[in-house]
Structure formats: structure tokens, C-alpha cells
Amino acid sequence: MKQTTRVRVSRGDGRFAAAHFLVNMGKCERLHGHNYQVTVEIAGAPGPDGAVVDFNRLNPMVAALCGTLDHKIIIAEGEKRHELIAGETEIEARFKGKRYLFPRQDCLLLPIANTTVESLSAWLLDNLARALAGEGLALDWIEVGVSEGENQMAITRRELS
């Protein structure tokens, strides 16, 4: 009989503060920010050492991903309802008569359709799955949750086996 063990990390390193705007979502179209919290759950068969994953390897991976997002203006490159003009020093975003001009170094353009927590959790999962792929782990699935407040979270899950 196969045994699966699930582990979860949800600590201070899995946080980031960022600004964003959403298109066609009412008041969330205004530039605003959140203090995001990332939770990662991984399930699989424990290895010979009795662990599914070494927390000393997983936590820095999560922290590094959150660090790329921290204190940035997150802009969805895949959003078709706004116009992006990315120059060497500035990024301009236009939609519904609004025009935002940001210093390029303060922005992070992500290959996602929108900067919702759903899209952010999927982006984080993609990057974490790539980072874990070379670890030789017997994983069944990975879940990444992103909350933008106490009562709002999106969780994306990927089956690996």
C-alpha cells in the first residue's frame, strides 16, 4: 500500500508586499497593494531519510521567489485589455483612459493574464516546480496558496505523478 505524506510551509520568508492593478474589476482597477502570504504544501513518499522534502532546501526556494515579487509593481504581460509600453527606464500602462508611468526598476512584468492571486499562485507554482524538479523527490502533488488578506486566498495545485 502506498503511503503519502503531506508537508506545509507557511512562514515569514513566504511573504511579499507588492502593488498591482486589475483590469475590469471595479475598485481594484486602481493601483493598490497587499501584504501577501504564500503557503506551500507538498505531498509525496518520504525518502530514505524519512522526509518528503528537506525544509532547509524548500524554505529558501520559497523565500527567493517571494523576494523577486517583494516591493515591486506587478504587471501582467499577458493582459490583453491594457496597453503596455516597456522602455529601458520606464513602463507605461494604459487602459480605460488611465495612464500609469512607472520606473522600470520598480516593476516586475510577469507572463500571466492578470495579477490576481489565482494567477500569482500559478506563477509561483510553475517556478517552484521547476526548482524542485532536479531534487530527485518522489512527489505526488504541489499546492501553492497566495493570500492577499486574512480572508482571501487562491490555491493552485499540480499533480506530479
Which pLDDT score, from 0 to 100, does residue 25 have? Answer: 67
Inter-CA distances, 137 with 54, 56, 59, 125, Å: 10, 14, 16, 16
* Cα(39)–Cα(25) distance, integer angstroms: 25
Phi, psi of 68, rounded to the nearest 5 degrees: -70, -25
Which pLDDT score, from 0 to 100, does residue 109 have? Answer: 96
The DSSP call for residue 28 is: G
**Per-residue confidence in pLDDT tens, the chain, 161 aa:** 677 899 999 977 899 999 999 877 667 778 899 999 999 999 999 989 999 999 999 999 999 999 999 999 999 998 888 899 999 999 999 988 889 999 999 999 999 999 999 999 999 999 999 999 988 889 999 999 999 988 899 999 999 97
The DSSP call for residue 94 is: E
- The angle, 0 to 180 degrees and rounded to 10, between the axes of the packed helices 55-69 and 117-133 is 140
DSSP lists the bridge partners of residue 92 as 85, 101
Which pLDDT score, from 0 to 100, does residue 13 have? Answer: 84
* Cα(100)–Cα(35) distance, integer angstroms: 21
Number of domains in the chain: 1
Which pLDDT score, from 0 to 100, does residue 78 have? Answer: 84
User: Is the pTM here over 0.85, yes or no?
Assistant: yes
What's 26's domain CATH number? 3.30.479.10
Residue 139's contacts (CB-CB under 8 Å, 6 or more residues apart) are 42, 43, 44, 52, 53, 132, 160, 161
Domain span at residue 99?
A: 5-159
